[in-house]
Amino acid sequence: MGLLFVSNLGMRNSNAKFIDFGFLQGAIEDKPTIMPTNLDMVLCKSGKAFLVAEWKHEEEVLPMGQKIVLKGLAKQDNFTVILIYGHSDNDRMEVGKFYQVTQDSLIYLDSGVDALKSYINSWWQVS
């Protein structure tokens, strides 16, 4: 697993809190169990191409709602969706395997911090 040591992981607001969307349960009256989901990373190139990523720990299961959202985004011509397994805290980031999400499957891409950076750069160049 690749390892990268960083300060605040480049977040614009390292003190930002995660939002609990529980208060929205029932907001859609005919589907009261539908809840929002969040995305961990979105890159946008010229408002026309989007790279979306979801980060999970190696043992973490992707919830059904996130699967539906990621697969739906992956169907769009201008969206590339990746699923990254790794870990981060205030001092370091570990990047394990990462995959491209398609509407039907996960396609293994690579592993490690440098490989992820290279993948992102390649995406940027061809988008």
Kindly report the pTM of this predicted structure: 0.83
* Average pLDDT value for residue range 60-68: 92
* pLDDT of 50 higher than 60: yes
**Are 51 and 73 spatial neighbours (Cβ–Cβ below 8 Å)?**
no
Based on the structure, what is the number of domains in the chain? 1
- In angstroms, the first-to-last Cα distance of the chain is 28
Domain that holds residue 47: 2-126
Cα torsion 13, 65, 96, 102: sign = negative
Q: Assess contact for 105 and 71: CB atoms under 8 A.
A: no
| Each residue's pLDDT tens digit, 77-115 | 999 999 999 987 777 889 999 999 999 999 999 999 999
**pLDDT for the residue 12:** 55
Nearest Cα neighbor of 1 from 127, 92, 100 is 92
For the cut 90, the answer to whether the pLDDT of residue 11 exceeds it is no
